[in-house]
Amino acid sequence: MTSAYEPDPRRWKALTVTLVAGFMSLLDVSIVSVALPSIQHGLGTTPAGVQWVVSGYALAFGLTLVPAGRLGDAIGRRTMFLVALGGFVLFSALAGLAPTTGVLIAARLAQGISAGALAPQNSALIQQLFRGSERGRAFGFFGSTVGISTAVGPVVGGVILAVAGEDEGWRWIFYVNVPIGAVALVLAARLLPRARGGPRGHLDLVGAALLGTGVLAVMLPLVLAEAGGLTRLWWLFGLGAALLVLFVRWERRVAARGRSPLLDIALFTGTPGYGTGALLGTVYFVGFAGIWLVLALYFQTGLGYTPLQSGLAVTPFAVGSAASAVIGGRLVEKWGRKLTVTGLTLVLAGLAVTAVVLRFAPPHVAGWAVAPALLVAGVGGGWVISPNTTLTLRHVPVAMAGAAGGALQTGQRIGSAIGTAALTGVFYLVLTSTGRDFPVAVAVAVAGAVVAVALALVVAVVELRARPRCPAAVEGVEQAVPDAP
């Protein structure tokens, strides 16, 4: 069943509301990191215990993405968005009120599930509400939101702690979500389009179980790397790989029987640009997400910056990314994959110069000296995330947009976990072997991020050579798509 596309007159207002909610959920991935010492002191817990405040959220977030995306496809994205946002607000309040570490960890797990259910609805609603060049612009704003939320988390956390105080300021990192989320919830209920028709197909519970346990097995050693997870839980990587192979075989079997799989594996081979785009996003996030903790460790531990000063030092990246992502949304229709190749080249150059500057600049000017290079890298970063999302999802049928967007973001979460564990591990390894030479340690770790970005650039170039024409020329007339819930 197909229908002509009729633009929703409130689509841009609806997008604004969903991006505000998405910003909050993604911000909570990084904002809490700067508050860990405050949480540990305030609740009197151990470093291992407080680490679960970050790790639990990241795990729950990553595990929920694909099943929640598919559920949104089936029962309606508006319904899933409202339920997820309501849960996020509720559990944010509970986290702020937490009297013990156990309650805080439980609240963060529930908050992560809510955020993971919320995230794929954003990209799916863009697929549903926009077409053509408008879709590129919408994904430009979406990509800007992803980039800014990841980069400014330490800045926002530092500001909140500076204003509210070290002892209880960490609670306001969670409380601030409540009023903003409540307003977004009311507006979303008014602006988001209602579902058309009833639920579609069955829910693939076996597929959800296989994918969830497989992703958990892969991510758990990574997110617990600082607590010795890689040493104690390395065997989970093999188990995770086996479960993911079983997941692929099961999904193919479900699709062959004419039923609705959790994630149609044919998307990776039969949908132009989806497989390479998902791979590019995963590899890029190894470098992109991995550098922020390394830079925070260098500025705060090595140079004695406050959390706020440390966050401000990396602000040029966020500013450059925010500005270029919006522009990139307008250019992606004309430039296609050339835009991500250009962006990755800028990121590569910016981070390479960053590594050199941090190695040789005098410590008292390092924060200022690195700003131009981070700005260049940020401009490039804005031409990677949102254009890649647009190009990866543009040919995906709207009926599968939630699951496809969830799978894309799951890859990004895994890439983030790998990058954070690997680059932080490299930083500490070099720091120990050089007698605590912080400039050398941070330079080597950032160089590791450069390698990851270089690999992403190779993937982008291969995709460009395989499909040299711009997306508008390839796509031609917007094809009819199934009515989306």
pLDDT digits (tens, 9 = 90+) for 389-406: 888 888 888 778 888 888
Q: What is the pLDDT of residue 397?
A: 82
197 backbone φψ class: left, alpha, beta (φ>0; ψ -120 to 50) = left
Q: Which two tokens stand for residue 349?
A: 């150059």
For 393, residues 6+ apart whose C-beta sits below 8 A from its C-beta are: 123, 127, 139, 274, 277, 401, 404, 405, 408
**Residue keyed to tokens 């910003």:** 23
Query: Measured between alpha carbons, how far is 272 from 385 in angstroms, rounded to an integer?
Result: 18
Q: What is the pLDDT of residue 289?
A: 80
pLDDT digits (tens, 9 = 90+) for 323-366: 888 788 778 878 889 999 999 999 999 999 999 999 999 988 99
Query: Measured between alpha carbons, how far is 29 from 42 in angstroms, rounded to an integer?
Result: 20
pLDDT digits (tens, 9 = 90+) for 97-135: 999 989 999 999 999 999 999 989 988 888 888 887 788
Predicted confidence band at 467 (pLDDT cuts at 50, 70, 90)? confident
Whole-model pTM: value is: 0.83
Query: Measured between alpha carbons, how far is 201 from 355 in angstroms, rounded to an integer?
Result: 51
Q: Which two tokens stand for residue 119?
A: 């995230």
Predicted confidence band at 2 (pLDDT cuts at 50, 70, 90)? very low
Question: Tell me, what amino acid is at 41?
Answer: H
What SS3 class is residue 117?
A: helix
Query: Measured between alpha carbons, how far is 249 from 467 in angstroms, rounded to an integer?
Result: 29
Q: How far is CA 306 from the centre of its chain?
A: 26
The Cα-based distances of 166 to 90, 93, 418 in angstroms read 24, 19, 30
Q: What angle do CA 161, 166, 167 make, to 5 degrees?
A: 130
361-367: Cβ within 8 A, 24+ apart: 361/439, 363/302, 363/303, 363/438, 363/439, 366/299, 366/303, 366/439, 367/299, 367/303, 367/305, 367/309, 367/312, 367/313
- The rounded percent of the chain whose pLDDT value lies above 90 is 36
